[in-house]
């Protein structure tokens, strides 16, 4: 796992415990289920720093059933096409979840906010959507190369702008990076753990590393070391 939307714990959380699942909920009078499954029941530990500090994390999957309209389609001999609603059906949304104890979670499916409440039930902690201070990121890494920038609250006729390309060589884009508010950045050749990484980072807490060789362990450490120090809420 090397991409997803981050949410962090607003208070201390415990180890994740999936023994209380599945849990029932009701929608349109129908009893449905939601579940959180930690596929590896052992919380893994690795040293993130030379002083021996460790991060406890594990990976799992969250799913929730909901009721949706079932549409039927009929093609008539005269060519007419009828699309109508024909009752309801139960469908389950699912997402991979990465949990770092007392720090944050990552959901691979960015539309599965329901996973937050399931993790809260399983840990006893409060989960909040993460906002990142990309201005702080820019200031901390002045030598970074940018391939994409999303800007707003600009001192220009157009309030918002997206720039793509070699932005370090683009005087106009560089001015936006240095002065405008930033909602997304594409980073090139970022040096980390002996790798040269390309990745996307957004103000709303989404991170995507464009390297399939980055495994979940390295992704956790990257988020802990590079991304989470810039949480703004």
pLDDT tens for the 233 residues of the chain, in order:
999 999 999 987 888 999 999 999 999 888 999 999 987 644 446 554 445 567 888 899 999 999 988 888 889 899 999 888 677 888 999 999 999 999 999 999 988 889 999 999 999 999 999 999 999 999 999 888 988 888 887 665 556 766 666 766 566 666 777 777 889 999 999 999 899 999 999 999 999 999 999 999 899 989 999 999 999 99
Query: What global pTM score does this model have?
Result: 0.84
Same-domain pairing of 116 and 192: no
SS3 labels along the chain: CCEEEEEEECCCCCCCCCCCCCEEEEECCEEEEEEEEECCCCCEEEECCCCCCEEEEEEEEEEEEEEEEEEEEEECCCCCEEEEEEEEEEEEEEEEEEEECCCEEEECCCCCCHHHHHHHHHHCCCEEECCECHHHHHHHCCCCEEEEEEEECCCCCCCCEEEECCHHHCHHHHHHHHHCEEEEEEEEEEEECCEEEEEEEECCCEEEECCCCCCHHHHHHHHHHHHHHHECC
How many domains does the structure of the chain reveal?
A: 2
Answer yes or no: is 172 within a domain.
yes
Predicted local confidence at residue 219, as pLDDT: 94
pLDDT digits (tens, 9 = 90+) for 110-119: 888 899 999 9
CA 176 to CA 150: how far, in whole Å?
9
Same-domain pairing of 114 and 183: no
Q: Which residues form the domain of 114? A: 3-64+92-129
Answer yes or no: is 196 within a domain.
yes
Answer yes or no: is 217 within a domain.
no
């Amino acid at each position: 796992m090397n991409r997803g939307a981050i949410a962090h714990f607003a208070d201390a959380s415990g180890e994740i415990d999936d023994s209380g699942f599945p849990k029932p909920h009701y929608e349109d009078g129908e009893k449905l289920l939601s579940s959180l499954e930690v596929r590896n029941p052992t919380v893994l530990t690795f040293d993130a720093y030379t002083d021996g500090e460790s991060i406890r994390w594990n990976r799992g999957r969250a799913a929730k059933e909901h009721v949706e309209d079932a549409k039927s389609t009929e093609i008539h001999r005269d060519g007419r096409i009828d699309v109508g609603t024909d009752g309801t059906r139960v469908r389950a949304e699912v997402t991979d979840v990465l949990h770092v104890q007392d720090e944050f979670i990552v959901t691979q499916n960015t539309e599965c906010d329901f996973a937050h409440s399931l993790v809260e039930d399983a840990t006893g902690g409060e989960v909040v959507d993460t906002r990142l201070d990309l201005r702080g990121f820019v200031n901390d890494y002045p030598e970074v190369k940018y391939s994409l920038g999303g800007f707003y609250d600009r001192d220009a006729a157009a309030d918002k702008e997206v720039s793509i390309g070699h932005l370090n060589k683009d005087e106009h884009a560089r001015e936006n990076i240095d002065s405008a508010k930033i909602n997304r950045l594409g980073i090139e050749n970022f040096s980390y753990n002996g790798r040269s990484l390309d990745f996307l980072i957004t103000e709303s807490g989404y991170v995507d590393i464009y390297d399939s060789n980055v495994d979940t362990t390295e992704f956790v450490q990257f988020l802990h070391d590079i991304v989470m120090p810039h949480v703004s809420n």
